[in-house]
Amino acid sequence: MKIALIAHDRQKPLMIKLVTAYQPILAQHELFATGTTGQKIIEATGLSVKRFKSGPLGGDQQIGALISENKIDLVIFLRDPLAAQPHEPDVNALIRLSDVYEVPLATNIGTAEVLLRGLDTGLLDFRTIVHDQIDTPINL
């Protein structure tokens, strides 16, 4: 599975705790992250993470583009609900794309843990069906 990891500034320490706690699960998957979040994850865990630009500089949109191509299977986006974000339209677009393409999305630590535990037990295997449908031509 391809997993996107994004965290607003005040949520980055929480993301590091989450990734550290679930490192054995995450190590089995391909990880993507916005710039600073990805760098902090690499430094804290040594996991391989493909980094994009920081969120305000277009990283959210880069991940959104992958979602629109069904190249992301799970998004963990630890948002800061108490701070205004200058790139809020990009954040909303990424959340909307997750809904449109039926990509599981966690925006808080509780949901992130449920998704990661579900991932570990095979509850997200339905995403392989999406990939199979993309690779199979549709005859009209």
At position 25, the amino acid (one-letter code) is: I
Whether the predicted pLDDT of 31 surpasses 90? yes
What is the chain's mean pLDDT, rounded? Answer: 89
Task: Kindly report, residue by residue over 115-138, the tens digit of the pLDDT.
Answer: 999 999 988 887 777 666 655 444
**pLDDT computed for residue 134 by the predictor:** 58
Task: Kindly report, residue by residue over 33-78, the tens digit of the pLDDT.
Answer: 999 999 999 999 999 999 999 888 889 999 999 999 999 999 999 9
131 or 28, greater pLDDT: 28
Looking up tokens 């108490």, which residue turns up?
A: 82
Q: Which of 60, 80, 90, 135 is catalytic?
A: 60
- Secondary structure class of 20 (helix, strand, coil): helix
CA pair distance 61, 94, nearest whole angstrom: 7
60 is known as an active-site residue: yes
pTM, two decimal places: 0.89
Whether the predicted pLDDT of 83 surpasses 90? no
Delineate the domains of the chain, giving CATH numbers in brackets: 2-80+87-132 (3.40.50.1380)
* Residue stretches of the annotated binding site: 8, 12, 34-37, 54-55, 87
- The dihedral through the CA atoms of 92, 15, 81, 105 has a sign that is positive
* Residue stretches of the annotated binding site for substrate: 8, 12, 34-37, 54-55, 87
